[in-house]
Amino acid sequence: MRKQLTIGLFGFGCVGTGLYEVLNQSNLLDAKIKRIIVKDRTKKRIIGAEHFGYEASEILNDEEINLVVELINDSNEALAIVREALSKGKHVVSANKKLIAEHLDELLNLAKENNVSFLYEASVAGSIPIIRNLEEYYNNDSLSSVQGIVNGTTNYILTQANYGVSYADALQKAQELGFAEADPTLDVDGFDSKFKLVLLIKHAFGLTVQPENVFNYGIRQIKPQDVKYASEKDYRIKLFARAEKIGNKIVGFVAPHFIKKDHVAYQVDNEFNAVIVEASFSDRQLFLGKGAGSFPTASAVLSDVSALQYDYQYEYKKSNTETKPVYAEDFYLKIYLASKDIQALNEIPFYFLDEKFQSSGYNYQTGWVKFSDLSKFDFNNIEKLFFAVLPESFKDEEEFLKFKAENEVLVNEIA
């Protein structure tokens, strides 16, 4: 039987307003918004002041409200709201990836203890239904990798750069369009992608990883020479969030990637996101859709609200298996490392060097590095270095050592 949902909504920004409108336009749902809590009393809004309140208790103490939809920016305030709502036996839908990635297990336990649902489809890749698919569709297939573009703002900036739009102008436009976080550093330095990756890892592989243990590097340090290198090779630069499973080990990271023309992500532009899932039986699949913006994100919230009418809950079956995967960093990546300062290139140990280019203005080298060496550096704050992951660039230790041995023999033979 369909449950009647009475919603208390926190936040009426880009996504909150979108939700209000999509709920009004969808006559399939038995759900109504009873109260909306906002901060700013003076802001002009699309509906009258009688809909709004300013105290969280107006929702949290209202027994008729059985669903809290949390769409505010401040993740600390959101945490307090979500904790209290779950403790009071209300279902919660949230789009707050930072909050969820940082407190996932605590909030899941709270939801379980109170026998309510905590859903967050909108928190990863906007309109793309990836969480529920990882939960349900891939439940019996063994996943080997989940990766892709999960941040609309950076993809928008990188796309606009192809048309000659400056970084600052593209970022401003992304803010105006409602794509960027209140603090856009979260987008451009890869934190937002990392929070989303943490949730993908949980639902794909059943592993809880703390965000501070996941490496993230964004797009702020890209120089015109790097863009030139990419275009000469027919690559596009995309910010990729990537999780790979090798045996019982899971690795995850966020970094700029050079994407080849024949890759499915090459033409994923602007605020579109793409998630590529690889599994034993279904092989490779691509999920494509808008990853940011009012209606696309609201559509995912709407889908959670709709699922709640049937008491849907994530089951986290993969978290309950006997053999737990472990988080690891002992794998190898092929990267492009560039700097104006040739000495700076030596700061990162290369285990196999492919190519080296020197000039008076700019220098780069390509080759294989150990990920655990890279992850020691705070690249977001190292102005003089830029790195990007090259295509076909991932090997575990065994594969890498075999590759290295074979290639060293080759090099010796040529010499």
Contacting range for ligand HSE; rule: CB under 6 A; set: 180-188, 302-310, 321-329, 387-395: 180-188
Shortest distance, position 325 Cβ to ligand HSE, whole Å = 26
Report strand pairing: 31-37 vs 5-10: parallel
Contacting range for ligand HSE; rule: CB under 6 A; set: 59-67, 148-156, 197-205, 210-218: 148-156
Q: Is the dihedral of CA 330, 335, 339, 344 positive or negative?
A: positive
Contacting range for ligand HSE; rule: CB under 6 A; set: 42-50, 174-182, 207-215, 317-325: 174-182
Looking at 196, 290, 334, 395, which residue is catalytic?
Answer: 196
Mapping DSSP onto H, E and C, the string for 370-392 reads EHHHHCCCCHHHCCCCEEEEEEE
Q: How far apart are the first and last CA of the chain?
A: 75
Shortest distance, position 170 Cβ to ligand HSE, whole Å = 12
Is 70 a binder of ligand HSE (CB under 6 A)?
A: no
256 versus 367: smaller Cβ distance to ligand HSE: 256
Options 117, 127, 133, 151; binder of ligand HSE; rule CB under 6 A: 151
Options 8, 129, 148, 152; binder of ligand HSE; rule CB under 6 A: 152
From the list 68, 375, 129, 107, the residue with the least C-alpha distance to 273 is 129
8 versus 291: smaller Cβ distance to ligand HSE: 291
Integer CA distances (angstroms), 1 to 119, 146, 308, in order:
19, 35, 11
Residue 152 in contact with residue 173, Cβ under 8 Å? no
Q: How many chain residues touch ligand HSE (CB under 6 A)?
A: 11
Shortest distance, position 392 Cβ to ligand HSE, whole Å = 27
Options 121, 135, 187, 244; binder of ligand HSE; rule CB under 6 A: 187
147 versus 151: smaller Cβ distance to ligand HSE: 151
Continuous H helices in 88-190? 97-113, 130-132, 152-162, 167-176, 185-188
How far apart CA 26 and CA 309 sit, in angstroms, is: 14
Q: What is the CA radius of gyration of the chain?
A: 23
Tokens of 327: 């988080």
Tokens of 213: 């243990």
Residue 387 in contact with residue 257, Cβ under 8 Å? no
Contacting range for ligand HSE; rule: CB under 6 A; set: 173-181, 226-234, 253-261, 343-351: 173-181
- The helix, strand and coil proportions of the chain, stated in percent and rounded to the nearest 5, come to 40, 25, 35
- Give the number of other CB atoms < 10 A from CB of residue 281: 8
- Lay out the site mask for ligand HSE across 277-316 (x = CB under 6 A, - = otherwise): --------------xx------------------------
181 versus 189: smaller Cβ distance to ligand HSE: 181
Options 153, 160, 221, 303; binder of ligand HSE; rule CB under 6 A: 153
User: Is 196 an active-site residue?
Assistant: yes
Shortest distance, position 199 Cβ to ligand HSE, whole Å = 11
- Give the number of other CB atoms < 10 A from CB of residue 83: 15
Q: List Cβ neighbours of 360 (8 Å cut-off, separation of 6 or more).
A: none
Shortest distance, position 294 Cβ to ligand HSE, whole Å = 11
How far apart CA 46 and CA 356 sit, in angstroms, is: 57
- Name residues contacting ligand HSE, limited to 318-377 (CB under 6 A): none
Contacting range for ligand HSE; rule: CB under 6 A; set: 141-149, 150-158, 211-219, 250-258: 150-158
Shortest distance, position 296 Cβ to ligand HSE, whole Å = 9
Q: List Cβ neighbours of 376 (8 Å cut-off, separation of 6 or more).
A: none
151 versus 221: smaller Cβ distance to ligand HSE: 151
Shortest distance, position 156 Cβ to ligand HSE, whole Å = 7
Chain centroid to CA 276: 13
Q: Which residue number places its CB atom closest to ligand HSE?
A: 153
Tokens of 198: 């943490």
Options 11, 126, 218, 252; binder of ligand HSE; rule CB under 6 A: 126
Give the footprint of ligand HSE on this chain (CB under 6 A): 126, 151-153, 179-181, 187, 192, 291-292
By annotation, the residues acting in catalysis are 196
